Amino acid sequence: MPDAVTQKDLFEPAEASLYTLAIEGMTCASCVARVEKALGAVPGVRRAEVNLATNEARVAVQNDAAVADLLQAVVKAGYGATVAPAQIDVADDESKVRERVRREGWTFMLAAILTVPFVAHMIGAVTDTHLFLFPAWVQLGLASVVQFGAGARFYGPAWRSLRAGTGNMDLLVVLGTLAAYGLSVWLMFRPEPAGPEELYFEAATVVITLILLGKFLETRAMHSTTAAVRALMKLRPETARVVRDGIEVEVPAASVASGEVVVVRPGERLPVDGVVIEGVSEIDESLITGESLPVAKNPDDKVTGGSINGSGLLRVRATKVGVQSTIARIIALIQNAQASKAPIQRFVDRVAAIFVPIVVVIAAVTTVGWLMAGAGIEAAILNAVAVLVIACPCALGLATPTAIMVGTGLAARRGILIKDAEALERAKAIGTVVFDKTGTLTEGKPKVFEIVPAGGEDPDALLHLAASAQRGSEHPLGRAVVAKAVEARLALAEPKDFVALPGRGLRATVAGRAIAIGSRRLMNELGVAIDALEPAAQTIETEGRTAIWIADTHSSRALGLIGIGDAPRETAAEAVIRLKAKGIEPVMLTGDNARTARAVAGRIGIESLRAEVLPGDKANEVAKIRAGGNAVAMVGDGVNDAPALAAADVGIAMGSGTDVAMHAAGVTLMRGDPRLVADAIDISRATSSRIRWNLFWAFIYNIVAIPAAALGLLTPVIAGAAMAMSSVSVVVSSLLLRRWRPQR
């Protein structure tokens, strides 16, 4: 994971400050639109995004804007706001959720017990037996407790909404139930009082009880959507065993400093990222990378905090601690993705902003229409109540964020980190996947297979020249040459006049000899005669290996060849098969010559390839492929791949690669398995499909239900039940994503 990646990087440029606010009192999509509008009106705010599912707002502001102004704006809009803690206490958060569920459960139970007599009364009225009829004053007493006791939670937000000149779900519920309650009270105390069987208290009490049930179920279900983040948070150990002054001491994990030595016993979780300096063991990284098998660890191997040590005792030198640790950055990435908005959600928010006022107007028109049609005041008001109660925009507000929360959490469990909702939505349309070869389709661990000296040259001398020129090289091929020289116990010389030639090779002076090392293209540029070695080079390339040429630039004479091979990843061929099965075209993009590229592509089943592409031209090649009309994903792991990752519709970085590549990508694979590319696209398609399904039913529900209520086809009780279940059904629908499994 890249050190530089923060939530601010993922949301706004560096000149902006990012605040995350915890918002209190939001109940529907109308609230989201209201809070966003209020925050956007604060001077200095560049962007504000509010998420109903997480009850959070992310606000990017100019550095001179004060957080107090943001909090005040939210309060004026009728809601509460505090600055969200940088790091959530999982135990405390779990405790708060349990308390909220318990409180909502008891409130519902109280309302349900008091509503039972009204349900019995309704049954008696339907059967025309009136067996369960009870006096009007008892009905008034029970209904009042439900209306103003159990239903008290709706009045505060409704009043704040009215003061702010807007509307929300609570206002619709309050208006609807108060209308039914008030109508019954008026019928009781008019000059000719109505009988107990003519009152409508049950409309108010049953509606409130059903909505409370819906909120209770919704809270429980919503808690499940954040399960992935909570699971990751629980990976962080509270304490660490650190060696200080030669003594092992137990300290809070947060206090471990970079460079300190941490002792990890068998079965314990690693408290920090680091490098093994002593011991041999195996590490279970499944909850971080999605890899089910333990990974062997030896001295000098990197380990990740949060993973579980196996049977060996390890001493680990801490390299990344606190917010810089891998687990902390993974959590930040997931939270960022879950808090971000998919493009389609912005349309939903615009609809929600005008939804409540329109519903109130429809309710008023319904009342007037029924009165003009000759119906009594009771029928007119009850039909208007049904309109107010059933038209809740909760489902619209939850349809997208809940699916994104579950989808990104599911991806994280599989070792796939999705930067934001936009990347998630774009990935579903991918028609072409462009793979960089080295380190992506291949292991990224090239080895020297052949040393072919020209006539009169010594193989060891040739290896000595090539390795000396590339001492300290970060290029995989250069490291392979140096490793071969070290294995042969050659004493390397210090290169002078070193010049890197991106995409072609290098020039340097070694032991007084001016040499060039690189591709056939470089040899041609330098006018080096290579005909004598061409047959050997073609043989090397036909076998899928890369031929590295070494030449004396003073005499323009080829000194020899070094054949370097990098085995394809074991899962590369399967990854290609899976992509083709989905109708996605795989393309290989590499700087290697065409002969080598074709050999490697043939082994793993790729027909389309772009070879001999210079690093600076990779982004242009991606742009050309995009011009063909397909949405393009670029998969890479190196610094040279970063521009191409950014140029693609979706950049996918291998987690085994560089920080720069992962920073430029919209999706990061936590382990070097190309099959995860197909998994990422699968999850994106499944999540996007679930979002569309949720929104379809949320819109259809309102399109059908509101006219039905206005026409008198739905009673307030049925309307209340439908409204209560609409938001629950959306959350449950999103949770069904957790049943997704990779198709292997």
| CB distance 101 to 223 below 8 Å | yes
92 is catalytic: no
Q: Which residues pair with 82 in a beta bridge?
A: 22
Q: Are 606 and 588 in contact (CB under 8 A)?
A: yes
CB 223 within 8 A of CB 97: yes
Q: Is 657 helix (H, G, I), strand (E, B) or coil?
A: coil
Of 170, 349, 436, 682, catalytic:
436
Instruction: Considering only the C-alpha atoms of the chain, give the largest distance between any 2 of them, rounded to a whole number of Å.
Output: 123
Residue 249 three-state SS: strand
Those residues with Cβ within 8 angstroms of residue 588's Cβ, 6 or more apart along the chain or in another chain: 434, 435, 437, 441, 597, 600, 601, 606, 608, 609, 610, 611
Please, are residues 22 and 55 in contact by the beta-carbon 8 Å criterion? yes
DSSP 8-class letter at 468: H
529: left (phi over 0), alpha (psi -120 to 50) or beta: beta
State CA 533 to chain mean position distance: 52
Residue 251 and residue 272 in contact, taking contact as beta carbons nearer than 8 Å: no
- Measured CA to CA, the distance from residue 125 to residue 140 in angstroms comes to 18
Q: How far apart are the first and last CA of the chain?
A: 27
Place of tokens 């010559």: 593
Q: Are 546 and 537 in contact (CB under 8 A)?
A: no
Residues 6+ apart with CB under 8 A from 305: 235, 236, 269, 270, 271, 272, 273, 274, 320, 325, 326, 327
Structure tokens at 243: 């060696």
Residue 712 amino acid letter? G
Neighbours of 376 (CB within 10 A): 10
| Rounded (5°) CA angle 301-302-306 | 135
Q: Write out the two tokens for 686.
A: 């499944």
Report the alpha-carbon angle 424-428-433, nearest 5. Answer: 100
Going by C-alpha positions, the residue among 210, 109, 200 that lies closest to residue 382 is 200
Tokens coding 102: 């318990």
- DSSP output for 262-304: EEE-TTPBP-SEEEEEE--EEEE-HHHH---S-EEE-TT-EE-
3-state secondary structure of 608: strand
497 Ramachandran zone, left/alpha/beta (phi>0; psi -120 to 50): left
Whether residue 454 contacts residue 532, with contact meaning beta carbons closer than 8 Å, is answered with yes
CA-CA distance, 38 to 48, in Å (whole number)? 9
Beta-ladder partners of 516? 507, 551
Spatial separation of the C-alpha atoms in residues 281 and 341, rounded to whole Å: 42
SS3 labels along 224-246: HHCHHHHHHHCCCCCEEEEEECC
User: Rounded to whole angstroms, how far apart are CA atoms 543 and 74?
Assistant: 66
Q: Which value, in Å, is the radius of gyration of the alpha carbons in the chain?
A: 33
CA–CA separation, 307 and 302 (whole Å): 12
Taking residue 594's Cβ as centre, other Cβ atoms within 10 Å add up to: 14
- DSSP secondary structure letter of residue 617: G
Provide the annotated active-site residues.
436
